[in-house]
Amino acid sequence: DDAGNPLVGASIRNTTTQVTTTSNDNGEFTLQAALTEKIEISFVGFSPITITAGNRFHSTALQKSADNSLSDVVVVGYSTQK
């Protein structure tokens, strides 16, 4: 994250092949990709980022917290109980 902590269970997707994996307890992952293919990293509560695979064996990608505040909440009831 933007504080340097690993994101456990982040979704990582090769946008060309649509192959997806998740990050481990250390925020690490393995995913096959050609040098020019894009990799998208997403995690609930954070803005998704896209990076180019490139010739990397190790890379650090930072995600920033997303402002996902709600302005309205709608509750709908479908039945009653006695």
Give 9-64 pLDDT, tens digit per residue. 999 999 999 999 999 999 888 888 888 999 999 988 888 888 888 876 555 665 66
- pLDDT for 3 equals 78
CB-based burial label for 18 (10 Å; 0-12, 13-18, 19+)? exposed
| Amino acid at residue number 19 | V
pLDDT at 54: 80
Higher pLDDT, 6 or 64: 6
* pTM score of the predicted model: 0.67
Residue 79 has pLDDT above 60, yes or no: yes
Residue 6 clears pLDDT 70, i.e. is over it: yes
